[in-house]
Amino acid sequence: MTHFSYEVPLAHLEDFDPYQDLYFALSFLCDDPYYLNFIKNRGRGRLIILDNSFNELGVPDTPNKMARLFNELNADMVVSPDCDGWSLEQLRESYKEMISLVPKRKVLVVIKSREERDMFLDEGIFYYCTTYEQRARLPLHFLTLCYHFLGLLNPWEIKRYNPISCDTAQPLKLALRGKTIEDWVKEGCPHYKTTPDFFNLTFSKEELDLAKRNCQWTKNNLGGGNGSM
């Protein structure tokens, strides 16, 4: 079963802690001491994956910063810096720098195309993840071997491919629109992209209650486990 990490505003880290199977920590948020210490303390006993923040910021954090945070959080895995506009050589260089700083088996690479898949397989990767935007471009059998799904595209992809873990803010962003997961499915699962401003929000009681129900829906219908190693 898939383990879920829910991306939530900083004001609601405590509120959603019971729903987190693992912590998918965003590197740019680790600049906030409250967030950094929260992940360090609450992540104990749960898997911690450190992400490079490209999806939120449009640029990834550097291998040096990722390695520093990886050690400070005592994280279990780290996503190698990547960017949609980088060449295969730039992606390879970033990965090589990352595995010079962090054990290779702890590094997740982002694969967005067949060409990237072939290159990283030649590099002898241990684990890889895929983004919600590019999963349709990859061979189906490759998705079944994927460790982590970056973002939730729809519920049935989880049931079909059963990744080990998935991070998402969709249950919360739907709640901000007054919608349930069932509403989202009926509408064809439009994707609402996460921006940095999302993490500064404070929910109303009604929004918070609905967001929790949406998280519980994904756990009941798609997930399982507590994400510990």
Q: What is the pLDDT of residue 136?
A: 83
Query: Within 10 Å of residue 177's Cβ, how many Cβ atoms?
Result: 11
Cα angle 19, 22, 27; round to 5: 115
Domain membership of residue 140 (yes or no) is yes
Structure token pair of residue 151: 């973002």
d(CA 73, CA 79): 14
For residue 215, give the amino acid letter: C
The pLDDT, as a whole number, for residue 141 is 87
Task: Please give the Cα distance from 98 to 136 (Å, whole number).
Answer: 27
pLDDT band at 229 (very low <50, low <70, confident <90, very high): very low
Instruction: Give the span between the Cα atoms of 14 and 2, in whole angstroms.
Output: 22
Helix (H, G, I), strand (E, B) or coil at 218: helix
Q: Which of 160, 162, 158 is nearest to 171 (CA)?
A: 158
Q: Write down how long the chain is.
A: 229
What CATH number does residue 20 fall under?
3.20.20.150
Average pLDDT over residues 36-54: 94
Any idea which of 12-16, 30-34, 74-78, 132-136 has the lowest mean pLDDT? 132-136
Residue 228 placed within a domain? no
Please check whether residue 95 is in contact with residue 80, taking contact to mean a CB–CB distance below 8 angstroms.
yes
Render pLDDT for 177-210 as a digit per residue (tens, 0 to 9). Answer: 999 999 999 999 999 988 889 999 999 999 999 9
pLDDT reading at 225 higher than 70: no
Question: What is the number of domains present in the chain?
Answer: 1
Per the CB < 8 A criterion, the answer to whether 89 and 125 are in contact is no
Residue 56 lies in a domain: yes
> What value does the mean pLDDT of the chain take?
94
Whether residue 36 lies inside any domain: the answer is yes
Domain assignment of residue 214, given as a range: 3-222
Share of the chain above pLDDT 90, in %: 86
Is residue 229 situated within a structural domain?
no
Q: Is the pLDDT of residue 228 over 70?
A: no
pTM, whole model, 2 decimals?
A: 0.93
* Residue 227, in any domain of the structure: no
